Amino acid sequence: MADRHFDVLIVGAGISGIGAACHLTRECPGKTYRLLERRHAIGGTWDLFRYPGIRSDSDMYTFAYHFRPWGETKVLADGHKIKKYIEDTAAEYGVPEHIDYGRTVLTADWSSADAQWTVVAKDEASGKTETYTSRYLLGCTGYYNYDGGYRPFFPGEDRFQGQIVHPQHWPEDLDYAGKRVVIIGSGATTITLVPAMAETAGHVTMLQRSPTYIIALPDDDTIAAAMRKARIPEKVVYKVSRARNIALQRTFYQLTRRRPKVARKLVLGAVKRQLPPNVDIKHFTPAYNPWDQRLCVVPNGDLFKALRNGSASVVTDHIESFTEHGIKLKSGDELPADIIVTATGLDMQMMGGVHASVDGEPVVPRDRVVYKGVMLDGVPNAILVIGYTNASWTLKADLAAEYFCRVIRHMDEHGYTTVVAEAQPDDRTDESVMGAALTSGYIQRGNAVMPRQGRRKPWKVLNDYVRDAPVLRRGAIDDGVLKFGRAGARPAKTAKKAARSAG
């Protein structure tokens, strides 16, 4: 057991887990840590997804870590470049030597008597279980199920004589050259796949039940490129570009909330200018306001180029059934297909399916309120990293890791060994941490598993980097909500836990 005891255990070696490990190295250099990663490589999402054209849907100056510049001018980066960026960042901070690959975390139990977590993981190669212990636990697994995406059943699937593919499990040998492809969906995955596959497929049809707002951005950041050409130091280029993009993101988001009609007119006007005459703007005109669902971004308008040159088309309709040679629509039309791609979304899951408990009491995330967007009430010495839904994921992941390091240093300075956020019954609402504003399908499905948020600070999730950053980077650690203790002292039962016990 001794050789598997660490100050910090991090579950997941994706962009959040690697970032957390780097922050520990930078800000808590004396702490021992281990990352448990079920896959056999660094990268998380960027190692899992292999479909054609995979790229970020956030600009890289805000999606990259704040402490390590993104050194290219591309606004939306290809998946393999993001993976390499994460790998290079990990290597720079010596993180790979701290990773145990092929480890699926099964359970995590907190003991107040011992003031530590006991984590049981399965070695996928041998099938044996291993036990780790730690003072702190970081959940950096994201919020979707890596084993399978959201996949509704369509009538008649068994009759279809072609191939059905889900983007989350893309076959390496899939040959779609010259073939008719129908992609079901309208989100970021679909709008990435359409132009990428259209380059070699016979024809690609984007079949959507309802439209999504789409914004075209230049492929390269011309301002950043000009700054580099002027030999401005890379760190300055990155800092300036990052601050600018954060401000632009927030300004546009606020416009969509305060003046939705104006924002809608701007987005649809830009789309209309890029569409060919034979494509109706109705296919890109959602019934909801901008940012009621996450906006999709296309570099250099590549999706619209595919529509203009005829290699792709878009259909808005409902599926009646699959047929032997395609999809029959409720309108009566039939779309011929050799390959059908079901880009139908993610299956939401917290902590990668880990069964967690506190002194034997199961931790059900949906029953917990989140503190400052980073801790679950009643769960000691643990951080749960959930990125932003209305901005780049990593902006919040960075802040969560920085805050966690601040908490550790505070505890060391005062001789504490335990910390827990304690919510009161009236702190809780029925609103998910994902917020009520977003109406995307995966957000609605996630409502069943995601933690709750409160009606006021520090339980209210702001989803606002500009307001979160000062609080998490410089705000008081001992704020009267967090409860600190020492080993052997069982945390006081919160009012909510007492109510659950009484019930």
Q: In 3-state terms, what secondary structure has residue 139?
A: strand
Beta-strand runs (E) in 140-200: 163-165, 180-184
Mean pLDDT of 72-77: 87
Q: Which domains does the chain show, CATH number per domain?
A: 2-147+348-502 (3.50.50.60), 164-342 (3.50.50)
The whole-number pLDDT of residue 445 equals: 67
The whole-number pLDDT of residue 437 equals: 53
The whole-number pLDDT of residue 341 equals: 97
Which is more confident, 172 or 490? 172
In contact, 300 and 214? CB cutoff 8 Å = no
Query: Is the peptide bond between 491 and the residue preceding it cis, with omega within 30 degrees of 0?
Result: no
Task: Decide the pairing of beta strands 116-123 and 103-111.
Answer: antiparallel
The whole-number pLDDT of residue 90 equals: 98
Give the angle subtended at the CA of 299 by the CAs of 298 and 302, to the nearest 5°: 75
DSSP 120: E
Which is more confident, 372 or 455? 372
Which is more confident, 411 or 446? 411
Query: What is the value of pTM for the model shown?
Result: 0.91
The whole-number pLDDT of residue 444 equals: 66
The whole-number pLDDT of residue 497 equals: 45
Task: Decide the pairing of beta strands 428-432 and 370-371.
Answer: unpaired
161 phi, psi to nearest 5 deg: -95, -5
Query: Which tens digit of pLDDT belongs to each residue from 338-383?
Result: 999 999 988 888 888 899 999 999 999 889 999 999 999 999 999 9
Query: Which tens digit of pLDDT belongs to each residue from 135-186?
Result: 999 999 988 888 888 888 899 999 999 999 999 999 999 999 999 999 999 9
In contact, 442 and 345? CB cutoff 8 Å = yes
In contact, 226 and 368? CB cutoff 8 Å = no
The CA distance from 158 to 62, in Å, is 44
Residue for token pair 């994201």? 142
Query: Which tens digit of pLDDT belongs to each residue from 279-306?
Result: 999 999 999 999 888 889 999 999 999 9
The CA distance from 384 to 351, in Å, is 8
Q: Is the pLDDT of residue 330 over 90?
A: yes
The whole-number pLDDT of residue 350 equals: 83
DSSP 455: S
SS3 labels along 11-60: ECCCHHHHHHHHHHHHHCCCCCEEEEECCCCCCCHHHHCCCCCCECCCCH
Q: For the chain, give the mean pLDDT.
A: 91
The CA distance from 256 to 391, in Å, is 13
The whole-number pLDDT of residue 455 equals: 87
Q: DSSP readout, 390-442?
A: SS-HHHHHHHHHHHHHHHHHHHHHHT--EEEE---GGGEEEEETT-SS---HH
Query: Is the peptide bond between 290 and the residue preceding it cis, with omega within 30 degrees of 0?
Result: no
Which is more confident, 401 or 228? 401
Query: Which tens digit of pLDDT belongs to each residue from 38-49?
Result: 999 999 999 999
The whole-number pLDDT of residue 446 equals: 66
In contact, 246 and 466? CB cutoff 8 Å = yes
The whole-number pLDDT of residue 442 equals: 60
- Which whole-number Å values give the CA distances from 500 to 31, 434, 503, in the listed order? 36, 25, 5
The CA distance from 77 to 58, in Å, is 9
